Amino acid sequence: MENNRIIIGTRESRLALVQTGMVADFLREKYPERSVELLKMTTTGDRILDRRLDQIGGKGLFVKELDRALAAGECDLCVHSMKDLPMELPEELPLLGCSRREDPRDVLVLPAGRKEPDPSLPIGTSSRRRILQVQKLYPDAKFESVRGNLQTRLKKLDEGLYGGLILAAAGLKRMGLENRISRYFSTEEVIPAAGQGVLAIQGRADTYDFDLDGFIDPGTMLATLAERAFVRRLNGGCSLPVAAYGEFDGESLALRGLYYDEEKRVSRTEERSAIVRTKEEAEALGRGLAEQLIPGREI
């Protein structure tokens, strides 16, 4: 890489470009003498849209092409939605930090003019985590998988293929589509995916001649590390409806988690809080909550 260039890897979707643009704009302002460029890529997860992620290999399908480019030195860092990052990252491609969290909540999006989902049409979501929790609020609803970028899913809704969509508030807000939100689900009603609303910045384990101080949010990083440790301990991911959400008040981290026991077909939620100052303490909190949820079971 030329020293006067900073190249950022990103997916090509409009939402990904908006999110990566936040990091790029920060770096351009901090380093006005340098050229900040984007390396845009279509990932396997963007191309295969007819199956759920757990049926085609999980979250890693959104990052593997970008991982290769990063490892090969074709870009200096990559920006991802934190919830798209696999729970296990290569040592040579660590998480450098994350943004302050946008609204972490899940939301219901309905067609224009409706106040409740049309019961004759399915609610669109590909997430078992969302289905498990939202069906308690809409017990008569049926759910159907929907894939594609945000615009594609909204178009399918507006064409009458779905009675509603369950989406993340963060993406809609970043795209300027907050007006499409019909209902916010509280984080107690629907526990978000680990890292929801957070931008992850992934780099190489080598020396950089730039930094992201001022963009990276340490408190969000601790909360996200706890959430990811919880999911990792339960071997969760795309295939299991596992969720975790942490709130950090500057000293104490409160973590709430959801686990679904597929054998017994029951879900459990628990909470745990601790004083957290380090990455190790945050991850210990996440693992401890996982063990609290399924006592006596080897995990």
Contact 85/193 with Cβ under 8 angstroms? no
Burial class (CB within 10 angstroms; exposed 0-12, middle 13-18, buried 19+) of 150: buried
Provide the CA 285 distance to its chain's centre, in angstroms.
20
Burial class (CB within 10 angstroms; exposed 0-12, middle 13-18, buried 19+) of 69: middle
Residue carrying the six token digits 């997430």: 127
Active site residues: 84
- pTM for the whole structure: 0.90
Contact 96/218 with Cβ under 8 angstroms? no
pLDDT, residue 58, reads: 47
pLDDT tens figures, 220-279: 999 999 999 999 999 765 567 899 999 999 999 999 999 998 888 888 999 999 999 999
The secondary structure element, H or E, covering residue 55 is: helix 53-56
What distance in Å separates the CA atoms of residue 244 and residue 222, rounded to the nearest whole number?
13
pLDDT tens figures, 101-117: 999 999 999 999 999 99
pLDDT tens figures, 119-141: 999 999 999 999 999 999 999 99
pLDDT, residue 64, reads: 84
Domains, the chain, with CATH or none: 1-101+198-216 (3.40.190.10), 106-184 (3.40.190.10), 217-299 (3.30.160.40)
| 143-144 and 123-124 beta bridge pairing | parallel
